[in-house]
Structure 1
Amino acid sequence: MEPVYRGLGRCVCCFWLAVAFDIVGLAVLLIGVFVNVFFYDLLIYAGAIVIFLSLIWWVFWYSGNIEVPPAELEDDVGLLKKDKGVLGGIGGAVRRLSSRVSSGIRSSLRRNGGPASNRTGRAPTSVPQAEQVAVAMATMTPQEDIPHTTDSPPAGGDTGMPHTTQTSPI
């Protein structure tokens, strides 16, 4: 036997949280409006935000109390009536087509490798492997006796920095 819910319905906790958020938000908002403090704007905005967040609890409470008779749920959750058969009529054909398409998409996404057209018998395309590239890195040390100019590089193009080589995969 199903329990009988009176008054506030099934989601009493969500109802009281929504009411609490509304009361706290309204109190903070009214304090910001009527009390002479230098941070009144913060209180007004905070109260409005708390009242807005109470909408989440109201939606939870409302949607938790929606009652749908089991007769209306039969088609939505797969509870088919015995006299209709397993899959009958146009609805059955649509369900079969939908399940075939969705299972095909699901299986093609689960496979590792190429696109879904590999089922036609073509060889899978090879994925290029990552190459290693040499990157030259240099450290700079401050030199106080050489004047810094941006017009021309030093003679010979050598800056006096040691060169090191490090490889990293791309």
Structure 2
Amino acid sequence: MLLGWPWGRCSAGHCALLLVLALVLDALGLVLLLLGIFAALDYWDFFVYSGSLILAFSLLFWITWYSLNIELPLEKLDL
């Protein structure tokens, strides 16, 4: 019942575009980071640094997606 539905039903929420963008940036950043670590290249540092920056940038989309999907009943807002 963590997501509000019985049996763990899950959905992308209201902002599916942000979720997809965060997942794509995570995949791209991980590929670049692993390429820089494991490939025998002279310019490996470019891949390591750019991959880690892309991963850090994807955190902004994860935080935005999560924040926009918080649902709170009006009774609990104490307005």
- TM-score bin, normalised by smaller chain: 0.7 to 0.9
Q: CA deviation at 1:9?
A: 0.8
1:29, distance to aligned residue in structure 2 (A): 0.5
Sequence identity (%): 36
Equivalent position of 2:74 in the other structure: 70
Q: Going by fraction, where is strand more abundant, 1 or 2?
A: 1
Distance 1:74 1:55 in 2: 30
Q: Spell out the pairing of 1:48-127 with structure 2 (5 A cutoff).
A: 48-75=52-79
Deviations 1:97-144 (A, max 9, x none): xxxxxxxxxxxxxxxxxxxxxxxxxxxxxxxxxxxxxxxxxxxxxxxx
Show structure 1 runs of 5+ residues with no match.
Answer: 1-5, 76-170
Alignment of 1:126-165 (within 5 A): none
Report how far residue 72 of structure 1 moved.
2.0
What is the rounded CA distance, in whole Å, between the counterparts of 1:18 and 1:46 in structure 2? 16
Residue aligned with 2:34, SS: helix
Deviation at 1:73, TM superposition (A): 2.8
Secondary structure of 1:9's counterpart equals coil
- Max Rg structure: 1
Scaled by the length of structure 2, the TM-score of the pair is 0.83
Q: CA RMSD, aligned part only? A: 1.1
For residues 36-77 of structure 1, the C-alpha deviation after alignment (integer angstroms, 9 at most, x for no partner) is: 1111011101100100000000001100100010112351xx
Q: Which has the higher contact order (CA 8 A, sep 6+)?
A: 2
TM-score, normalised relative to structure 1: 0.40
